[in-house]
Amino acid sequence: MLNMRALFLFAVMAITAAAQSFPIHWEDLTAEDFTKALAVSRNTCAIPFGIIEKHGPSGPLGTDLLNVRYTSELAAKQEYTILFPAYYFGQIFEARHQPGTIAYSTKLQLDILQETVSEMSRNGCKKVIIINGHGGNTALLNYFAQIQLDSPKDYIIYVVSGVSSASGQNPAAAPSKPGVDGHAGEGEVSNIMAHRPELAHPERAGDESGKNLRRLDLPTGVTTGISWYSMYPNHYAGDAAGSTAARGKAATEAGGAGIAAALRAIKADTVGPRLQAEFFEAAKHPNDTKQ
């Protein structure tokens, strides 16, 4: 006869089996399975957030998009969540002088992200996790997360930044020498080689310079929008010549594990949603807040 513990274990096994049987991609789920997958994901959904921009002479325009989707897929297979379709509507004005860059207006970046998140919430995604794959999106995403507090929301945003490119402690994920990593450098191109080797061209790495030209001489702490262009006009930083699939495999696996750990923590988080609800209520009548 089954006791309660056995029943519980059976339920856990059934949920685990279900998690394995649902596709991780939003667009691959049927409508009926979507609602079941949401239960397995505990109402979490993630947007792997990329960009379309030049990646030096060696990487495809979609390097950041492809890499963040790949590491997010590795993560979602370990810790189930539903991955939103390809998303690349981020900040990339600094590469507008290069072929193939898609730079949407500032207003549209914010509007489409807000509408996307609102639609995800309307469909039951109450924890929306934005996994950032592009450095130029960092300020946008931090700002977007902060402005969620402008009015009550029935969902909460979590931004995961820097994790997908983390190499962890594995020496196989380390750069071949100092100074090779950077935008479109050895790390990013190695990551592409781990899953889309036909798109990487490390043999072209020397066709352009990825050196910092240091053309703008300003004190530390002073910045301007033209800083990046002043340093790297080829939209290439570092050196992709030493890129290898082996390094990319180690780095993307470490990145995937890092994202999976973040997904696990976010699923378990009850404090964030509770405090956000408390904040929205208190913000309706600030003069009642104890001084």
Contact 172, 191 (CB under 8 A): no
Gap between the Cα atoms of 180 and 188, Å rounded: 10
**Helix-helix angle 106-122:138-146, to 10 degrees:** 50
| Segment contacting Zn ion by CB under 5 A, of 63-71, 151-159, 191-199, 225-233 | 63-71
| Segment contacting Zn ion by CB under 5 A, of 62-70, 111-119, 151-159, 211-219 | 62-70
Residue 253 binds to Zn ion (criterion: CB under 5 A): no
Contact 128, 157 (CB under 8 A): yes
Q: Which of 64/186 has CB closer to Zn ion?
A: 64
Report 195-224 residues binding Zn ion (CB under 5 A): none
Taking the complex as a whole, the smallest distance from the CB of residue 61 to Zn ion amounts, in Å, to 10
Please, what is the end-to-end C-alpha distance for the chain in angstroms? 59
The strands making up 127-132's β-sheet, listed across from edge to edge, are 82-83, 44-49, 127-132, 156-160
Taking the complex as a whole, the smallest distance from the CB of residue 185 to Zn ion amounts, in Å, to 9
Residue number of the CB atom closest to Zn ion: 64
| Segment contacting Zn ion by CB under 5 A, of 36-44, 111-119, 185-193, 281-289 | 185-193
Q: Which of 238/258 has CB closer to Zn ion?
A: 238
Residue 181 binds to Zn ion (criterion: CB under 5 A): no
| Segment contacting Zn ion by CB under 5 A, of 26-34, 109-117, 188-196, 230-238 | 188-196
Residue 64 binds to Zn ion (criterion: CB under 5 A): yes
Contact 72, 117 (CB under 8 A): no
Among 3, 47, 39, smallest CA distance to 22 is for 39
Q: Determine the size of the site formed for Zn ion (CB under 5 A).
A: 2
Residues 6 or more apart whose CB falls under 8 angstroms from that of 253 comprise 74, 170
Going residue by residue from 122 to 161, which x/- string records binding to Zn ion, judged by CB under 5 A?
----------------------------------------
To which residue do tokens 């001489």 refer? 217
Residue 257 dihedral angles phi and psi, to the nearest 5° = -65, -40
Q: In angstroms, how far apart are the furthest CA atoms of the chain? A: 78
Gap between the Cα atoms of 253 and 167, Å rounded: 9
Going residue by residue from 14 to 53, which x/- string records binding to Zn ion, judged by CB under 5 A?
----------------------------------------
Gap between the Cα atoms of 141 and 129, Å rounded: 11
Taking the complex as a whole, the smallest distance from the CB of residue 73 to Zn ion amounts, in Å, to 18
Q: Which of 55/249 has CB closer to Zn ion?
A: 55
| Segment contacting Zn ion by CB under 5 A, of 22-30, 99-107, 181-189, 226-234 | 181-189
**Residues in touch with Zn ion (CB under 5 A):** 64, 188
